[in-house]
Amino acid sequence: MYRATVSLAENLNSIQQRISIACQRAGREPTSVGLLAVAKTHPPEAVSAAANLGLSLFGENKVQEARAKIPLCPGRLRWHFIGHLQSNKCREAVELFAMIESVDSLALAQEINRRAEAAAKTMPILLEVNVAGEASKFGYQPERLLAELKAINALPRIEIHGLMAVPPWSPLPENSRPHFRRLRELKLQCEQILAAPMPHLSMGMSGDFEVAIEEGATIVRVGTALFGKRTSVRANPVAE
């Protein structure tokens, strides 16, 4: 048995309570917030234990890790890709994932479209935004996103489901609020340009998901608060 099962159950319980309290504060239904369990660096046993507790939505940030792990996990789970995607990994990403949350260029969207067509699939995506304009981070600059949005939306095998962001790390969750708000406003602008609703705002991690929920998150991506600290060296790549 996966040894962390007991604390996993406790962690999940406390996360769900925090989600539900944040929803109450924001006047939202707890069912309007999806909990995406970020499994990067954690073994398939951890994923199976989380699945046994009722979780069904999982995230990975490396195609290579996902390729090895996903086949060892229960088959009924849904996986989202949340890391930087290189074009030479698109074929595999399209196979492994139900959604790619981190699309940040037209070229990448075109490659995903090409690979989805070859696999006779349609790929749901989120567009990742570099909300604070950090030089060290991936993600669209907002102006560029607005300029390329229609071209991405025109790709026949791509479905834009919303926006995703990772704000600058801060020990104070309130520091993330303006960035979450910016993402929400940007989603409204995108919806106006496309004249269609986009259902998802993927924002909020272990340290700030309650603030994200108050600002409209529909997917919160939680790793550490659920599975505990990541110990692998891969836990903190430079690009993160």
Stretch that binds ligand PLP, among 8-16, 119-127, 154-162, 199-207 (CB under 6 A): 199-207
Interaction residues for ligand PLP, span 142-181 (CB under 6 A): 166
Distances (CA, A) of 6 to 1, 13, 19, 49: 11, 11, 20, 10
Between residues 115 and 221, which has the closer beta carbon with respect to ligand PLP? 221
Closest contact distance (angstroms) between CB of 120 and ligand PLP is 29
Q: Shortest CA distance to 109 belongs to which of 133, 96, 120, 93? A: 93
Closest contact distance (angstroms) between CB of 150 and ligand PLP is 26
Closest contact distance (angstroms) between CB of 175 and ligand PLP is 14
Interaction residues for ligand PLP, span 40-99 (CB under 6 A): 40, 61, 82
Distances (CA, A) of 17 to 21, 61, 205: 6, 26, 15
Q: In terms of C-beta density within 10 A (0-12 exposed, 13-18 middle, 19 or more buried), how is residue 154 classed?
A: exposed
Between residues 155 and 165, which has the closer beta carbon with respect to ligand PLP? 165
Q: What is the phi-psi region of residue 174: left when phi exceeds 0, alpha when psi lies from -120 to 50, beta otherwise?
A: alpha
- Report the residue from 193, 224, 228, 234 that binds ligand PLP according to the rule CB under 6 A: 224
Between residues 157 and 180, which has the closer beta carbon with respect to ligand PLP? 180
Q: Which residues bind ligand PLP (CB under 6 A)?
A: 38, 40, 61, 82, 166, 205-207, 221-225, 240
